[in-house]
Structure 1
């Protein structure tokens, strides 16, 4: 960081991975936070993409992670690369002495990698945020502050998502360069169904699973009641953990109106949170709590969860916020992996008596 930047309180940002999420979500969010951040370095495996995206913000570009981590202008690192690289890159950023790290979900491939990240974060003192943006949404935070005993009394938790394909929203936000290629899947292949269902849980449901876990802290006895893949991209999963029922539903279709809701229901009260679609940059969620026949509404607020997570990253980098519990991040990951693996197994299991 330069002396002038230090005086202005501006944190230099390095971004690893310049794909659609960086282009359509993080750069617009950072553009609204110019009093906190300046993008200094963008890295992508495709040098042409890195150069093009960096030119939008006047940043250095490159195709080498080590060069970005060695850049003295980079104070905080955002890791937006393919998820199989997340663990090694989070660890490298911590060891490079950066002030804080934001990693897109999932931040590790398994619990062992997550434990290693946790150990390195504690060893180096570098705080980590995982990009489950809904946990930083001011609408959700208002719900937490006002829901009373609902986490102890809720019997049903539901996440319901209806979205058009990401490209539609990305086009609203920016001109995206090089989207990943997609193939026509063979839905007669059980392995395709398994991978699609796991991908849906770890790519979409994972945004809400940390919210679910606020109501299901103990998930050791998790039981899948039903699990189905919804074409072309979606899922219907019902599960039970203790005395709580959790319903996860998602469908992606260009003909449906976007809707993203989270609900928690008890005999005495219920919560409904309506989130805005991520790419639209349309502000916060709105939370409604109903108790004893009376309802209270919270929101909308002035920013969404993506901007919220960057604001929290600034506080962590400056030492004005308590680091998030890495144990909690590990448990969130283990919870998501358990649901993804059990759902995929249930969806592809042969019916009883098959082949007899």
Structure 2
């Protein structure tokens, strides 16, 4: 059996024994025949909200949160349609915020790849920085003891829009929706609490669970605290084509999209496996080892205790070289000692390190 594994920007062909191999993958859903038309329809007939164009006045400032280069979000397809609905708003009153979380800023070439040349050149585009205290605003705390520090441009905007793609997330339940506020546009202190050992250790901090998941519960509280006026979420297939789109009120949109995605992305299996071969879904998700932990976490759900996981990830960006990940991984000689250290203190990369010993 020949299987084409997603690897970097291409595929890695691997032969497996036919009689001993089970392939678990999302149910393939063809892309929408008219992606732009489907997005426009969603913006003009949204869930729980008026049409987008009618909600924003020309005198208002608008902030749009978009995914960074580590996510395969089709922003260059979505944004031209969304901005078309805002054509009555002067360009200088619109800012596009790259929701980097604690990741590195995206360079000019990456912005063009993500947004398209016209949008990257026409509008103000700002990389969020979780570490720039002057660029953050404190909005108090939400339960459970999460300090809310958010991007100042986002907080100060008259009208705030999130754009994201929804897929199962290994400790936040699902991506997209309110995650484009936190951790996407959150300060370091906020993200470290959302990603600390206590939060990740919850049995409900796992794939496909939002309600009762302390991380996603807190993320929703943060989004509600600042207020999101409109949201657009999409689902995509392995070819990065849009398969579904919803727009409107943040929580209604995200709940609807999570339900749609859950049925295709999460698959049943009869029994755990001795050996699991996995990927991190290719570029841009497998750019570095830090992000590749997500593929390992998925494999850990289906492998037998004591079994083996083999992960194919290009990691063109290294560990990555920026941040503290490499130094932390090498700080102790065993997984148990590393886990003990991580549980005792916080750092920008500790969530990924913490999941390594369990994987």
Higher helix share: 1
What TM-score comes out, normalization by structure 1 length? 0.32
